[in-house]
A and B are shown apart, each in its own frame.
Chain A
């Protein structure tokens, strides 16, 4: 073969002038300086092209090499030495001796202004802030959109990609996603994200259609998950979907953890809990109850039994001590213990007057459960104000509706004991000082403000610890709070193949954080079993943290958030008086579920409120990347209407 070799031409993408060059007509060469770098360029190139060839990026929205430049976007402005005003780099040819600056304070300010203008006419948002606020990272806009299309089964299935307990979270989640919701910019209230989740899940259950995938083919790997609370259940679910053989070991007689023996059934009926747990077990997860780690087995035992990996999720269920005088007297009890006893079906007589110390979930549940167990005079004593309570606002409101008294800005000093029995509490008034590490203002005692309140029972709800007895392991590292120490990026403990997550690794937190940790743990284990090293595991479970900037929202209608219908307060309270359950409490009588859920009509209206803040282009969008780079935002725009 003697094919004759001719010129090789790499065609340039930029200019039509290149045509002549390709056909063999050379162009004059000139010397220029861009951002201090001396360069040479053909004289018929624009500044933009010359810069691009030298690897200098000048921002531009409309500089596609296939299209003739128009200079419309106004972003490629550059400063040329000797000229008073900046010029458009896409429209200006280079000249010999030209000196160009592509970044100056003036140019930056002009570009920012222009971007602000663009954003003002831009009614959309790149990535939903709700989703990144959700510890489980649910595709919220996605399921809300499906709800608007009445695709409830699909919506539930989408939620279950990130969290296997939609009906439960739809009832008990503290809703961190609703805080940053952009709907607030329009009518001050977020979309009822959580209530919509419950709605979709309940609807899906009604249809009886499957909302979860079939597990992948068996991998032959066996994994022990210790503790069947939210974290353990979630880990089991995602591990089973990946085809692993999961054994769930639980110390109590039934699975569910805090969901079963912490959260009362008027908030979370057992039927909902059972349904969702059964769905998880139906994937082939083997549940073994009455199996307490530390007593019945240790990590080493599990290894000997041939488990390839272990996930620890034993929660934090031991009520913290208040370290005050009289705390051990009869009539003083950790609130979690009280709740557990009621939840397991015991009738607990507290007397008439009950004080619950604390302002979190546990305190709120304890006061309301105490009311249901017949106490008529129930007080919640909290050392800060209502705003700072970590119990959700709507729950605090329900406490009030149910006749609970609040004693705010009050901290217990000692329990007053008579004949070994508590008869009341001495407390001290507080006032709010400087914010502490958590951002909440620190309560400071008011000197000489002590006062006495009589009580038959005092319930302590001031936090929980991890059960140290269960972690009586010689090699497992704990941190200084007694939690299991893990590397957060891999979920692994110091023992290879032993992972942990949920309250036992973070201290008492929330269900959704537990579920998120369980899922991450599952994928960490999956990656580890597939031979990933630390970096590989971290990559497999890394959460994206998108950058946000301000684009003002607007919408067709200004509808307020829909209200959750609740059981009539009067009827509710009268049921308390007749309460006198023996045996397990369930979704009736005094323990009937309080929140009733949205009707379809209300749910559809509410779903319409979502702005579906997400955009396919995110990450590839020039408007987004430049706005972030130049700090653009709509709130700063003061000019005339943009773009005209």
Chain B
């Protein structure tokens, strides 16, 4: 030992900085390169790290616990550390990194579609690294992607098919694949013979791959013989899709992650981006902090993005349309409308213009509570920007007026001409990994794959030729209607792939009733979800890490999933199961791989024509990709819109007080539901990740301090949320994140499900349920 190592002893005594249970910083290995400090500051923009007197990273809190800071455990610092100083505590590997197996694939959580590297050892995924191969995340990851993959090997994974041999009262018992498939096929055929094809229905998943979704809808149409198919994107974003289809001719988001990084002004509406799409928000920060972009946030809750915003508008819940129209009004009156764009590329301008008249700042303030000067500031920022970008989330769509909200957004981008150029456009942020793809593959009733019309004779003929059977004639039902159909007894048998309506549907009690009334329920899932527990046949499936395929992310980017490990036990990939079942029902589907399925998709869907697996390796391709040499399309509408006239159309939308679930004396609070950073969807995956569940083991209801006083509630104590539909007991979190008069409760927690409180009211045009607004009251529990 020399003098220096002697000296070093004192330093070694420094306690490691710990972010339990995700990572820790061990000073003994730190070389003071400051990469961790800087990525946190420059990319994540969080007040976490500082530098101590001797040049080591330290925490701003002066403690050694990351929880005392703004750290949200994204682990970006862990990824950037050039040594082993920042250690991933969730790493389950026993071998050194160099002898592990690496697979580049796509994160299965949200619609950003981050490229990740799965490290595996002896057939188990043991750690996750970010991958720099995709433009979607350019090497960034959030806490779920980096630390939330342990659900893959959760002991509760289904490993063997289950079957109820003797009716609803008999138990679910393990069985062989042969028996499970034959049983399901025979029973589906029986129901079909007895009640006709339209007594059958399928619900597919926005978490399954394009290939899975494609074969699934093919089975529903060709083997079942019906259009009764939907997926849960209905539950979050159908409103956007319908609105955009009307306004610009396509439901797709127009811009991409690179455009987000280029934009100079953002309107972020009803999207808690930092929590729901953290990697997208870091790209917004990049634009802001590296190029001076301005941010306008419109949200009733004091979400994190507010801290980075130049202007924050806090409308009363349900008054989005008024505020958005107000912005348009100001833009128009200040002479900031893009006249050239409007006259060359849009229609319906005059009517729209007239309709805006009444949305004066004063009127908007009266309706929404947004101060006039702020409204004007916001309008000017967006309209004057070189490159304006709109981002919105479920705050827009999960309202009774969801389509109107989305139309009002589209209007803004047409009004300013912020579309069809680099760094401009609009992105409705997708909740799940493959919402876009599931829609493209038409896991939906109202169209054939690639948005081919189910009613157009030419489109029908094309698919009848390709699939060799006549296309069904029926006029289709949406997911909510399907559930209602089950309750009424119109639907007798249902096939559900990777969905958990018992966790995600707006009206739990009704859904349970409906599913129990079915003659046959077949579910395929990773876990025995609440829905699977009601099934007659349960197929165990491979997780995203255990199969090949593609996801289409929220920027239309089709990216490759690659198999990292074998599925547990006898679990199989969704597409394999679907094809087997189809065959057993009498409709042959033979593919030797997902690549072969994609080749068929490419032959039928023009915007996917160039999407062959072998072309999707590094970073994927964005549709439209019209042939096998096409480079893909970063942003849409450069020259025209895909409407019959080639022009986009303004829509007249008005703030209507839906009055649907207005507050009253008995239910004086507005209940808002939504997502948390650490969890995803109904929590079937995240709640089974040790680290993620540790961070947020239970849901808490956010209550404004004023309301807390009014109802006698204390932080950390239990309370009962009561609506006209039902009640649940939860812990109280007193915070000014939520405005006075409104409470927020996340929907990931099965033991106290938010949806027990909400009703099956949905937006009439799109059938997206109104999760965002339900009248409620709080009661203290002692």
Contacts and interface: CB of A to CB of B under 8 A. Distances in A.
Q: Most chain-B Cβ atoms within 10 A of its Cβ — which of A19, A70, A544?
A: A19
A5 interface: yes
Interface in B65-100: 80-84, 87-88, 91, 93-100
A10 interface: yes
Interface stretch (B6-14, B106-114, B409-417, B660-668): B6-14
B99 to A, nearest CB: 6
Nearest to A634: B5
B96 A127 contact: yes
A43 interface: no
30 contacts: A1-B606, A1-B607, A3-B252, A4-B639, A5-B624, A6-B636, A8-B622, A8-B633, A19-B261, A23-B262, A23-B423, A61-B82, A64-B39, A64-B80, A67-B43, A120-B8, A124-B29, A139-B94, A544-B95, A552-B2, A556-B13, A614-B96, A617-B97, A618-B84, A619-B98, A620-B97, A623-B82, A643-B31, A643-B32, A643-B55
B422 interface: yes
Contacts of A634: 5
A58 to B, nearest CB: 14
B88 A616 contact: yes
B35 A67 contact: yes
B106 to A, nearest CB: 17
Contact of B42 (A1, A68, A139, A641): A68
A637 B642 contact: no
Contacts of A24: 422
A19 B423 CA distance: 10
Contacts of A185: 1
Interface in A614-644: 614-624, 634, 637, 641-644
Nearest to B39: A67
A121 B138 contact: no
B631 interface: yes
A19 B291 CA distance: 8
A122 interface: yes
A594 B158 CA distance: 53
A9 interface: yes
A148 interface: no
Nearest to A635: B2
B9 A546 contact: no
B315 interface: no
Contacts of B93: 616
B353 interface: no
B631 to A, nearest CB: 4
Contact of B422 (A22, A61, A72, A617): A22
A615 B634 contact: no
A11 to B, nearest CB: 4
B1 A554 contact: yes
Contact of A66 (B39, B99, B250): B39
Interface in B1-26: 1-2, 4-9, 11-13, 26
Interface of B: 1-2, 4-9, 11-13, 26, 28-29, 31-35, 38-39, 42-43, 54-55, 80-84, 87-88, 91, 93-100, 132, 135, 138-140, 250, 252, 257-258, 261-262, 290-291, 387, 420, 422-423, 450-451, 606-607, 619, 622, 624, 626, 630-642, 646
Contacts of B32: 72, 121, 643
A22 B291 CA distance: 13
Contacts of B631: 8
A4 B640 CA distance: 6
Contact of B55 (A65, A124, A637, A644): A644
A551 B84 CA distance: 14
B5 A9 contact: no
B633 A62 contact: no
A5 B626 contact: yes
Given A66-B43, A554-B8, A619 B99 contact: yes
A19 B289 CA distance: 13
Interface of A: 1-11, 13, 16, 19, 22-24, 61-62, 64-68, 70, 72-73, 118, 120-124, 126-127, 139, 142, 185-186, 544, 546, 552, 554, 556, 614-624, 634, 637, 641-644
Contact of A554 (B5, B38, B642): B5
Q: Which 3 A-B pairs have the closest CB atoms?
A: A619-B98, A617-B84, A6-B638
A546 B96 CA distance: 10
Nearest to B76: A66
Nearest to B127: A616
Given A1-B451, A3-B642, A544-B99, 17 more contacts: A4-B641, A6-B420, A6-B636, A7-B635, A64-B35, A67-B39, A68-B38, A121-B31, A126-B84, A126-B96, A186-B1, A556-B9, A616-B88, A617-B83, A618-B84, A619-B97, A643-B32
B262 A22 contact: yes
A620 B98 contact: yes
A11 B261 contact: yes
B632 A13 contact: no
A63 B82 CA distance: 10
A9 B256 CA distance: 10
Chain B interface mostly: loop
Contacts of B451: 1
Contacts of B80: 64, 66-67
Contact of A5 (B87, B132, B633): B633
A483 to B, nearest CB: 31
Contacts of A617: 29, 81, 83-84, 87, 97
A641 B88 CA distance: 29
Q: Most chain-A Cβ atoms within 10 A of its Cβ — which of B83, B132, B138, B640?
A: B83
Contacts of A546: 96
Contacts of A121: 4, 8, 11, 31-32
Given A9-B258, A637-B4, A62 B82 contact: yes
B621 to A, nearest CB: 9
Nearest to B252: A3
A552 B84 contact: no
Nearest to B43: A66
A68 B286 CA distance: 12
A196 B159 CA distance: 39
Given A13-B139, A66-B138, A552-B2, A123 B642 contact: no
Given A554-B12, A621-B83, A9 B98 contact: no
A123 B97 CA distance: 20
Contacts of A620: 97-98
Given A19-B291, A616-B88, A9 B634 contact: yes
A616 B97 contact: yes
B288 to A, nearest CB: 12
B139 A3 contact: no
A288 to B, nearest CB: 32
A142 B96 CA distance: 13
B39 A616 contact: no
B31 A122 contact: yes
Contacts of B632: 8
A619 B631 CA distance: 36
B579 to A, nearest CB: 27
Contacts of A644: 54-55
B394 to A, nearest CB: 25
Nearest to A2: B642
Nearest to B28: A123
A112 to B, nearest CB: 15
A98 B91 CA distance: 45
Nearest to B631: A8
A129 to B, nearest CB: 13
A123 B8 contact: yes
Contact of B290 (A5, A19, A73, A643): A19
Contact of B82 (A8, A65, A622): A622
Contacts of B35: 61-62, 64, 67
A22 B386 CA distance: 14
A337 B300 CA distance: 90
A120 B29 CA distance: 10
B82 A3 contact: no
A66 B258 CA distance: 14
Contact of A124 (B26, B38, B43, B622): B26
